[in-house]
Structure 1
Amino acid sequence: MRPFLFLPIAAIVLPVPVLAQQSEPETDAPDIVVLGRPLPPPPGVPAYGSVTIERARLTGDASGRVENVLADVAGFQQFRRSDSRSANPSAQGVTLRALGGNASSRALVLLDGVPLADPFFGYIPFNALAADRLSSVRVTRGGGAGAFGAGAVAGTIELASATRRELPQVAGEAFYGSANALEAAGSISPDVGGGFVSVFGKFEQGDGFFTTPIAQRSAATVRARYRDWSGSLRAVVPIDAQTELQARGLLYRDNRTLRFAGADSSSEAEDASIRLIRRGDWAVDALAYVQARNFTNRVISATTSKLTLDQRNTPATGAGGKIELRPPVGPDHVLRLGADARIGEGVLYEDAYAVTGLVTARRTAGGRTSTTGLFVEDDWTLGRLVLTAGLRGDRWTITDGFFREANALGTPTTDTRFGDRHGVEGTGRAGLLFLASAAVKLRAAGYTGFRVPTLNELYRPFVVFPVTTQANAALGLERLRGVEGGIDLTPARGVTLGVTAFYNRLESAIANVTIAANTRQRRNVDGIVAKGVEVTAHAARGGFSLDASYAFSDSKVRASGVSAPLNGFSPAQSPRHTASATLAWERHGLGASLTARYVGRQYEDDLQTDILPAATTLDAVARLPLGPHVSLIARAENVLDQAVVTRNAGGSIDLGTPRTLWIGMRFR
């Protein structure tokens, strides 16, 4: 760990003088107001069919995990169906609209404007996210422009931190669950001058469950144990009545054991960011961040129960920033001008072992990628019509790529350096929102986007028994083109319904392509074409509420040449049907909810030989107040104990979370 990353934050926060009293609701008074929020979204955002998950839902899920709440948005998926307790971290890439095919994230995930994806692998560190720290999440499906738009080929997921009004001065919770699982978290959020500081810590561990079916277990089979912790600090400091500084720091460590004794993985991070928000005529959003990450992974043979591969170290660094200006161009326009940059670099160190336990080869691989972009976007309100359009220009680079291998004695056997590559990409999006009446909104949008391959895809091979997947340093960029149209209805008070039809084509999509028996390689196929329909619904009456979503995604691979056998197949790990519904009730502090989720049949592999059956799960939560600040909470995951197949490689099966029960206390 490198705690020096927090020094810039401490240097800013500690000298702050006392500028005002505790923050109050925003008024016209000249008092300094600290909100801890980003700039408001432009009026054209709804043209792209965005969905918002509110804080109450984020903190009310049976699993307590952000990635499972995101599954409320039909079409959201990780590469595998496992959550962050029983998945390999490197498989936790996220995508939308069945544009998958490998484990890298095709959706841009932001926390307070900062990209969260690991700079080497592209996965999202969900164990480092706590729902209680969030105010809301906005999910926009489809390609994006704006800040950090490079990489948002499937959509954008924007997480916003909880504000002063949403953070109690002191909070804590503790839960005990099945398989000796323990969760504990606490926070202190005092006012400091005219701002506030929030310090948060979380710890969780569990003996886990057997991911392997009974018939396939061996003497080496163990439960999917996990143990992780995280600590974060967020400070919001007023500069003047319209300007505030937001600083954030994060430390986390995650350890998991998957399937076999000794098959351990770990991930860790030290992240820091600082953000300047200015409201008013000249609005400003300026941001800088740095990320220090590492990952390790040990592969155990299913036949010998011996260590075969030790990916013992993968240090990676990410850094970047943006500046966005919103000049005063009149009451009918919201103009955004800005620039952003991202850099990621990392190195993989791994050792291969023989059945004797001796090292046979030592490998090192790595490189560096970057994107630097300029963007402009304007939202124009013409009565009941809102027009929005944006353009980006990006320069991308892939540099310093290499692969080296030596024998057990350290004698080099391979030393390959890959040529540097660079280019310029222009992308954009446009949309319209027409308020036909108080009950009807019509929208349409079109967009393009691109994604640079991750260092993981370019340089790191991996093994998930019995299949080896090779890296490919020659991978090209993915490019997206898409259109969509939709309608939003409010037929009655408290009732909303949204329907979106879409067509997306991801050209040069990167897929894990079978090239020999039990061997795949990451390759660009001609494209993935996804078309379908998304439906969202909300209804509230009295203390009851119902939120539901459904997505139908007809996603097909377009391939030729050596990949021609894949033409017309569904991308790996891409279901045609997904659905979610949550029925909740709350009255005088009492609360209860039921959440049902459905994931349709999908294929494990590119050749459609291994099937993951459809699965339906049911979760439940009940809350009983014991006083004005304390609640007793019971949670139940997968109440019906549905067997959810998360991996099927030639009949070698992994399963997802079984029935899991929790009881705990929450203090606010």
Structure 2
Amino acid sequence: MAGSLAFAGAAESEPVALSPLFVTANRTAEAAELMPFSNETFTSEAVRGSPNVTVDGLLREMPGFSLFRRSDSLVANPSTQGVSLRGLGPSGASRSLILLDGVPLIDPFGGWVLWSKVPRESLARIEIVPGAGGTAWGNAALGGVIQLFTEPAVGSRQRFAARAGSYQTLDLEAQFTEPVGAGTLQLLGRMLSTDGYETVAEEQRGPIDVPASSRARWATMRWRQPVGDGVTATLTVRRFAESRGNGTPYTRNTSDETFASLALAGQPSTRFQWNATAYGQQQDFTSTFSAVNATRTAETPASHQFAVPADTVGLAWVGEWAHDSAARWNDRGDELGGANRGRGTGVPPVGLAQAGMSRGTGVPPVGFAGTNSPDHGAAAAGASEVGARGGRASDEARTVFGFDFRDVRGETREDSAYVDGAFTRRRFAGGRQSMAGAFVLHRRALAPDVRASLGLRADGWLETDGHRRDFLRGEPAGDVAFGRRDGLELSPSAGVAWTPKSNLMGYSFMPPHLGESNPLGYSLAGRGTRAVRLHASVQQAFRRPTLNELYRAFRVGNVITDGNPALRTENVTSGEIGATVTAGRALPTAPRSTDRRDQEIPPVNRGRLTLGVTGFWNELRDSVANVTIASGPVTLPGIGFVPAGGEARRKHNLDRTRVRGVTLEAAWTFTDALRFEAEYLFNDARVTRAGVAPWLIGRRLAQVPEQSATAGVSWRRGRWTLSPRVRWMGQQFEDDNNRLPLAAATVIDVAVSATLSRSAEVFASAENLFDHRVETGRAASGLVSVGTPRLLLVGFRVWR
């Protein structure tokens, strides 16, 4: 949160202004200080400097981020990798929209996220916007939006990184970007593998338990080229394959994907810009499940998902119209304001730029390629002179509008009922889901220090070809066709940000090695004593249940959960209000030579303290939940036999769920080499109405801790950087009845690196340094699953 101002050889009365950094939650570039909702940003330096192997592990530095379970995606089953922000009903299907270069990353059939698809070394930045985004993005942005941006295909760059360590873990990633003729070719690739670790508590393990392992690999080819007057095209092709062992000899899963997209971006005038993306995806998934005996000495095959094909096509177009000339920038330095939050956490005070874009120099108010395009960074490059005139576009009115379409066809094909050494039942279940929507967002200044936004979106959805076909020993045993279903959803939003004038002048940036800023950004001259920012926003959003939730039954251990083709659409009304105060004084510092990217590191503030508070409230209607309907041993229609110690659950809509809480944040920059930051989340997530299961009223949502917190220190001396982090997770419940508690846990992660030259460094990391036990699951039988033990890695990184 703390900002950084510097004198940089300029007089106090003549600050040198840079363009502010922007975030893109509304599908176009918007200054962070003008946004009416919370947002957090991680830069490429923050990602590469993280002690975590996986990107979802890095994002846990934000207490409001969680997967369905506490398990890291390194070895977790993909169906448990759905994302929740601020505890808005964690489940296998994400209730937050995850995008990679503007295209949904969530599984088209199941709604979970394959985090192993995400690059680590090649990420330019990550933007997290909890509680907003429904108007701009539509379906699935119920709890917010997470956008992951890879570095654009611009210029000439090469990079290679390798790390290895505990449990035979090996991570290799490479990037090659080079101009070729009239265009630019970019090649990206990663291989991540681990022999893994046992996921059953040590005192309960038996001979049948083996380490949960994973092997993932992907390659991406991107070609970028101008194709007309002011229009740039980017073609992307990706191949992905993964296999995982799920903790016993029989249980495994595989994923396979082919993806292609074409993105266009243009700016026909200084007042109008547009971007468009078309994409297609073919995917398959397989998985096996088993029943393990009480002594954990043997397992029996329970089901075999031998194929889950899913095909997706999508199209999006977004335009932005500037009502006033882009040249109308305010020249009053005291309008800029500024304090820059650590790693971009929370809502900025005046001038908060969150975190920097990789190799970027700010983002212009017009000319940004948009979040549907991989050229988002390219459009920003070389455009900083737009912002260098000083001031902010506080007097500009802008309208963003667009439409998108997405069509998914998927089917699960699986065998079950294992008798006498063979499966006796087979089921095909699936359908088709189509969605189309259009939106408009308008933002303008209501006063010199007040900026408001207003938006509306309409989405239509259609579900057809819903079916469930059963076979018994090869003979038809049932054929159910579910009727056509459709609906219309509206997603309005409104917000306001107030940034009163203060003595704090100019935008400011933290050093890139702290993971907070534009690596090309320089601090501004100025003096500061205090800056204040207030914001408030409300929105409505929706999520349509996935094909997996509608039609498929699944099994985890001895817990069997059935789908429900009658599920209704989830809707949420949410709001938040927040304030941030920054106090301190900017002091000049001696310049340092260069950072790991051969770019000058700007000086920072010393003794600057930033405090922030945000309160939020969500009223979730018809949330999809796994409702326990029986305990084993029992045989139920559609579910089959549930063994002793197991549970039968079915997906149902809960009438009302309330999620409310508060986030507290603090950051203190002691010196230009030492910084502390912390964040605390209190989250009260409870069922308030449940006609289908009235006994759940008043109970806490499963997998949501009431309290969580993180804290970290960044320290740099010479060529060395040290970054310890601590995460605390309060008690939470495994089940909807709140009978299966998961104990609170504390995890300490540490990363250390040393620069060897202008283009090389070595590093080491430790996840869960003190090997604390993290409970990730608890069965009715008492079986406890555990998360990542101590994981030690060393590696090196070279670039050019």
Quote how far apart the aligned CAs of 1:559 are.
Answer: 2.9
Counterpart position of 1:532: 661
Q: In 2, Cα distance between the equivalents of 1:437 and 1:587?
A: 36
Is there any run of 5+ residues in structure 2 with no aligned partner, and where? 1-17, 19-26, 326-395, 503-530, 587-604, 632-646
Contact 2:166 2:793 in 1 (8 A): yes
- Are the structure 2 counterparts of residues 164 and 272 from structure 1 closer, same or farther at C-alpha, using a change threshold of 3 Å? closer
TM-score for the superposition, normalised by structure 1: 0.91
Quote how far apart the aligned CAs of 1:245 are.
Answer: 2.1
Q: In 1, Cα distance between the equivalents of 2:229 and 2:746?
A: 51
Counterpart position of 1:313: 307
Matches within 5 A, 1:452-467: 452-467=544-559
- Are the structure 2 counterparts of residues 54 and 77 from structure 1 closer, same or farther at C-alpha, using a change threshold of 3 Å? same
- State the AA in 2 paired with 1:111: L
Q: In 2, Cα distance between the equivalents of 1:664 and 1:562?
A: 53
Contact 1:306 1:357 in 2 (8 A): no
Contact 1:72 1:548 in 2 (8 A): no
Cα offsets for 1:447-489 (capped at 9, x unmatched): 1011100011001111112211111010000000011101122
Q: In 1, Cα distance between the equivalents of 2:708 and 2:499?
A: 29
Matches within 5 A, 1:623-638: 623-638=753-768
- From 359, 375, 391, give the equivalent of 2:456: 391
- Are the structure 2 counterparts of residues 547 and 270 from structure 1 closer, same or farther at C-alpha, using a change threshold of 3 Å? farther
Counterpart position of 1:301: 291
**Percent same amino acid at aligned positions?**
33
- Are the structure 2 counterparts of residues 194 and 549 from structure 1 closer, same or farther at C-alpha, using a change threshold of 3 Å? farther
Contact 1:44 1:432 in 2 (8 A): no
Q: In 2, Cα distance between the equivalents of 1:414 and 1:456?
A: 19
- From 497, 514, 530, give the equivalent of 2:628: 514
Counterpart position of 1:67: 56
Counterpart position of 1:666: 797
Quote how far apart the aligned CAs of 1:349 are.
Answer: 0.4
Counterpart position of 1:16: none
Contact 1:559 1:565 in 2 (8 A): no
Q: In 1, Cα distance between the equivalents of 2:258 and 2:135?
A: 26
Partner SS for 1:235: strand
Q: Does 1:359 align with 2:423?
A: yes
Counterpart position of 1:21: none
Q: Does 1:222 align with 2:210?
A: yes
Higher-RCO chain (CA-CA 8 Å, sequence separation at least 6): 2
Contact 2:444 2:453 in 1 (8 A): yes
Quote how far apart the aligned CAs of 1:560 are.
Answer: 3.2
Quote how far apart the aligned CAs of 1:294 are.
Answer: 1.4
Cα offsets for 1:397-443 (capped at 9, x unmatched): 122110011012x2111100101100111111100001123411111
Q: Does 1:348 align with 2:403?
A: no
Cα offsets for 1:602-660 (capped at 9, x unmatched): 00000111111111101111112233322121111100101001111121111101001
Cα offsets for 1:11-36 (capped at 9, x unmatched): xxxxxxxxxxxxxxxx9xxxxxxxxx
Q: In 2, Cα distance between the equivalents of 1:568 and 1:194?
A: 63
Partner SS for 1:179: helix
- State the AA in 2 paired with 1:232: T
Partner SS for 2:542: strand
- Of the structure 1 ranges 180-189 and 605-614, higher mean CA displacement relative to structure 2 is found in 180-189
Q: In 2, Cα distance between the equivalents of 1:308 and 1:235?
A: 46
Counterpart position of 2:162: 174
Counterpart position of 1:543: 673
Q: In 1, Cα distance between the equivalents of 2:152 and 2:720?
A: 24
- From 33, 53, 69, give the equivalent of 1:80: 69
- Are the structure 2 counterparts of residues 506 and 358 from structure 1 closer, same or farther at C-alpha, using a change threshold of 3 Å? same
TM-score for the superposition, normalised by structure 2: 0.76
Counterpart position of 1:486: 578
Contact 2:241 2:254 in 1 (8 A): yes
Cα offsets for 1:29-61 (capped at 9, x unmatched): xxxxxxxxx852367862111111122111111
Matches within 5 A, 1:394-413: 394-408=459-473, 410-413=474-477
Contact 1:257 1:263 in 2 (8 A): yes
Q: Does 1:269 align with 2:269?
A: no
Counterpart position of 2:119: 130
Contact 2:67 2:90 in 1 (8 A): no
Counterpart position of 1:612: 742
Counterpart position of 1:40: 29
Partner SS for 2:737: coil
Counterpart position of 1:30: none
Q: Does 1:55 align with 2:55?
A: no
Contact 1:256 1:264 in 2 (8 A): yes
Partner SS for 1:565: helix
Q: In 2, Cα distance between the equivalents of 1:231 and 1:39?
A: 28
Contact 1:510 1:522 in 2 (8 A): yes
Q: In 1, Cα distance between the equivalents of 2:668 and 2:260?
A: 39
CA RMSD of aligned residues (A): 1.9
Q: Does 1:586 align with 2:716?
A: yes
Q: In 2, Cα distance between the equivalents of 1:184 and 1:327?
A: 43
- Of the structure 1 ranges 579-588 and 104-113, higher mean CA displacement relative to structure 2 is found in 579-588
- From 262, 280, 284, give the equivalent of 2:274: 284
Matches within 5 A, 1:430-445: 430-438=494-502, 439-445=531-537
Q: In 1, Cα distance between the equivalents of 2:569 and 2:457?
A: 16
Contact 2:317 2:404 in 1 (8 A): yes
Contact 1:101 1:511 in 2 (8 A): no
Contact 2:138 2:459 in 1 (8 A): no
- State the AA in 1 paired with 2:562: Q
Counterpart position of 1:111: 100
- From 176, 183, 196, give the equivalent of 1:188: 176
Q: In 1, Cα distance between the equivalents of 2:59 and 2:469?
A: 40
Counterpart position of 2:689: 559
Contact 2:303 2:418 in 1 (8 A): no
Contact 1:601 1:613 in 2 (8 A): yes
Q: In 2, Cα distance between the equivalents of 1:535 and 1:274?
A: 41
Cα offsets for 1:206-230 (capped at 9, x unmatched): 2111111222222221001111111
- From 472, 476, 487, give the equivalent of 2:568: 476
- Of the structure 1 ranges 640-649 and 48-57, higher mean CA displacement relative to structure 2 is found in 48-57
Cα offsets for 1:345-377 (capped at 9, x unmatched): 201000114252212101100011122111000
Q: Does 1:156 align with 2:248?
A: no
- State the AA in 1 paired with 2:783: S
Partner SS for 2:315: strand
- From 195, 210, 213, give the equivalent of 1:207: 195
Counterpart position of 2:613: 499
Quote how far apart the aligned CAs of 1:247 are.
Answer: 2.7
Matches within 5 A, 1:223-242: 223-239=211-227, 242=230
Cα offsets for 1:258-289 (capped at 9, x unmatched): 12112101112112222222244211021111
Q: In 1, Cα distance between the equivalents of 2:186 and 2:656?
A: 45
Partner SS for 2:45: helix
Contact 1:427 1:449 in 2 (8 A): yes
Quote how far apart the aligned CAs of 1:129 are.
Answer: 0.4
Quote how far apart the aligned CAs of 1:159 are.
Answer: 1.4
Contact 2:135 2:491 in 1 (8 A): no
Quote how far apart the aligned CAs of 1:599 are.
Answer: 1.3
Counterpart position of 2:433: 369
Q: In 2, Cα distance between the equivalents of 1:168 and 1:489?
A: 41
Contact 2:124 2:149 in 1 (8 A): yes
- Corresponding residue pairs, total: 630
Counterpart position of 2:336: none
Partner SS for 1:497: strand
Contact 1:326 1:335 in 2 (8 A): yes
